């Protein structure tokens, strides 16, 4: 099983719909992150969480919300999806005790808003 | 604010050619540096990382990177590329201290290898 699992892998949704992307991990890491990837823009941070009670906005949080239901679960919601939210979304985790060791990424969710 | 610049957006090489991908960062303190690779249709995987010590870091699949502090650079190299190296490569930086919040990624360099 993958260390960081994202569901769904692919999703097509209509403008105005609410959609939730889910991420779960078996790494035991305390920190979790949501990024979106767009061609030519690299990865941009949407939200991050250092532990269950800690949620922080990233550089592009408008139009998104998150929920850290447990240490192992971190969900991203689009309250009212719009076409420019079409992107590849990645969840990542890290261990604060080993902060310099980088992230572990999930396989991504490809979201298309029509 | 921290930032990472990757000046080459798309690099096209023939097999067996040598590779160097540029990466410059802006941050005044001590940093940890990373190169991630994303093969077509896959997630990002760690290629190599620099924490401290020897500025020449060796990673998987024959890749290496050199940290030059005076130039704020961490360029990725490979002496002889293969078709299977076709991927997108991301340079990333984070401050060294354990409470560092997040990794900052560059915009990526797409590498295409002609068979």
* Residue A100's pLDDT band (cuts 50, 70, 90): low
User: To the nearest 5 percent, what fractions of chain A are helix, strand and coil?
Assistant: 10, 55, 35
A22-34 tens-digit pLDDT = 999 999 999 999 9
How far B32 CA lies from chain A's nearest CA (Å)?
Answer: 6
SS3 B20: strand
Residue A102 has pLDDT above 90, yes or no: no
User: For chain A, how far is it from start to end, CA to CA, in angstroms?
Assistant: 32
State pLDDT tens for residues A43-91. Answer: 999 999 999 999 999 989 999 999 999 999 999 999 999 999 999 999 9
Report the pLDDT averaged over residues B50-79: 94
Alpha helices in B11-95 (DSSP H): none
Q: How near does any CA of chain B get to the CA of A72, in Å?
A: 18
Look-up of token digits 């990333």: B92
Question: CA nearest B40: which of B97, B96, B112, B114?
Answer: B112
Distance (Å, whole) CA B23 – CA A112? 31
Instruction: Give B100's pLDDT tier (boundaries 50, 70, 90).
Output: low
Q: How far is CA A17 from the centre of its chain?
A: 18
Contacts of B53 (CB under 8 A, 6+ apart): none
Q: Stretch B56-85: mean pLDDT, rounded? A: 95
Task: Find the CB nearest B102 among A40, A48, A108.
Answer: A48
For residue B44, which residues of chain A lie inside 8 Å, CB to CB?
43, 90, 103, 105
Phi then psi dihedrals of residue A66, to 5 deg: -135, 165
Residue of B nearest to A44 (CA): B105
Of the given ranges (A8-17, B59-68, B101-110), which has the lowest mean pLDDT?
B101-110
Q: Is A10 on the interface with B (CB under 8 A)?
A: no
Nearest to A65 by CA among A12, A112, A18: A18
Chains A, B: CB contacts within 8 A come to 57
Of A13, A49, A54, A36, nearest in space to B102 by CA:
A49
Query: In sequence order, what are the residues at sequence separation of 6 or more whose Cβ sits closer than 8 angstroms to the Cβ of residue B79?
Result: B18, B62
């Amino acid at each position: 099983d993958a260390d960081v699992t994202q569901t769904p892998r692919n999703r097509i949704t209509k403008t105005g719909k609410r959609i939730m992307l889910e991420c779960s991990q078996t790494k035991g890491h305390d920190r979790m992150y949501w990024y979106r990837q767009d061609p030519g823009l690299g990865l941009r941070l949407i939200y991050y969480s250092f532990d269950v009670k800690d949620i922080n906005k990233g550089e592009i949080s408008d139009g998104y919300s998150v929920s850290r239901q447990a240490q192992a679960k971190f969900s991203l919601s689009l309250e009212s999806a719009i076409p420019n939210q079409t992107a590849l979304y990645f969840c990542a985790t890290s261990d604060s005790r080993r902060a310099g060791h980088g992230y572990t990424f999930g396989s991504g969710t490809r979201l298309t808003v029509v | 604010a921290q930032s990472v610049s990757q000046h080459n957006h798309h690099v096209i090489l023939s097999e067996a050619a040598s590779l160097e991908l540029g990466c410059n960062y802006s941050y005044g303190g001590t940093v940890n540096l990373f190169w991630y690779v994303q093969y077509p249709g896959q997630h990002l995987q760690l290629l190599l990382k620099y924490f401290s010590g020897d500025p020449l870091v060796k990673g998987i699949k024959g890749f290496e990177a050199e940290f030059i502090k005076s130039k704020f650079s961490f360029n990725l190299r490979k002496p002889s590329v293969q078709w299977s190296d076709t991927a997108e490569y991301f340079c990333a930086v984070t401050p060294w201290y354990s409470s560092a919040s997040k990794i900052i990624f560059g915009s990526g360099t797409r590498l295409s290898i002609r068979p």
